[in-house]
Amino acid sequence: MNHVSGRDEVPAGNVALVTGASRGVGRGIALGLLAAGFEVYGTGRSIDQADLPREIRRLRCDHLKDEETAHVYEVLRSEQGRLDLLVNCAWGGYEKMVEGGAFTWPAPFWEQPMHRWTGMIDAGVRAAFVCSAHAARLMTPQNGGLIVNISFWAAQRHLGNTIYGIAKAATDKMTSDMAVELKPFDVPVISLYPGLVRTEAVLAAAESGAFDLSTSESPEFIGRVISALFHDPNLMARTGQVLVAAAVAKEFGVLDTDGSSPPALTLGDIRDGL
């Protein structure tokens, strides 16, 4: 299977793994890929209780534990013998944003609780690295596949807190360097930036007026964009790049679940405190 040639002829049934698929963006990506014809495997600590259709293969996994991640790939090898798409979405950075009545998310780095480092760097960046290493062992022999790392504008300016910026900048650098090493095997690696996504947490915050949802994206929208990228016959030309999901959607004519075309945010549109 070659990643570039014949993409338009690839039938439905490509195997996708979405980490952090229990809720939020990860859940939406899993749903979007399922609707696009992928055989979807989803991981998460609470995946057994997630609101997902039975067609999605659930694999309970705490990606802080390497042995549990390894088991996920053992199942993939046993049941499929291949992996065509990995979406690294596992992330513990938004947990415990309020502690003891205090909103600690925007605190200066010297006042940040160290669990936030664990949630963003270990459960985020490190988990993506380990999952990508396992995926590469499946993708390089087949000379094809795609790895997508979900990232954000915090890689490029201060947003919220220092640890957040470190995590996203590390994700983008990881994407760039992995792309160099995987290029001879026709396996592209992409960093993908969502916009304001209507996750459970964002919808709850919007009720109090914290967010204007008029230009927001559904979680499934990101899955639709990833599917369009996967089927792009010229995707290798983008490997190592940072892409904005809504900009990719406009290029390929991808619409959101409500038929809308979300605007592609730029760095200037992003405000502090997110």
Domain of residue 162, CATH code: 3.40.50.720
pLDDT at position 170: 98
Q: Is residue 142 part of a domain?
A: yes
pLDDT tens digits, residue range 183-215?
999 999 999 999 877 777 766 656 666 567 777
| Per-chain mean pLDDT for the chain | 90
Tell me whether residue 2 is in a domain. Answer: no
DSSP string spanning the chain?
A: --SSTTGGGPPS--EEEETTTTSHHHHHHHHHHHHTT-EEEEEETTGGGS---TTSEEEE--TTSHHHHHHHHHHHHHHTS--SEEEE----TTTT-EETTEE-TT--GGG--THHHIIIIIIIIIHHHHHHHHHHHHHHHHT--EEEEE--GGGTS--S-HHHHHHHHHHHHHHHHHHHHHGGGT--EEEEE--SB--HHHHHHHTTTS--GGG-B-HHHHHHHHHHHHT-TTGGGGTT-EEEHHHHHHHHT---TTS-------GGGPPTT-
Q: What is the band of 160 on the pLDDT scale with cuts at 50, 70, 90?
A: confident
Least confident of 12-16, 37-41, 261-265: 12-16
Is the residue at 153 inside a domain? yes
Q: Is residue 274 part of a domain?
A: no
User: Is 73 assigned a catalytic role?
Assistant: no
User: Does any domain span residue 1?
Assistant: no
Tell me what percent of the residues of the chain surpass a pLDDT of 70: 89
On whether residue 180 sits in a domain, the answer given is yes
Query: 76 in a domain, yes or no?
Result: yes
- Domain region containing 136: 7-269
Task: Specify if 189 maps to a domain.
Answer: yes
pLDDT at residue 162 tops 80: yes
- The residue annotated as part of the active site, out of 41, 73, 164, 193, is 164
Number of compact structural domains in the chain = 1
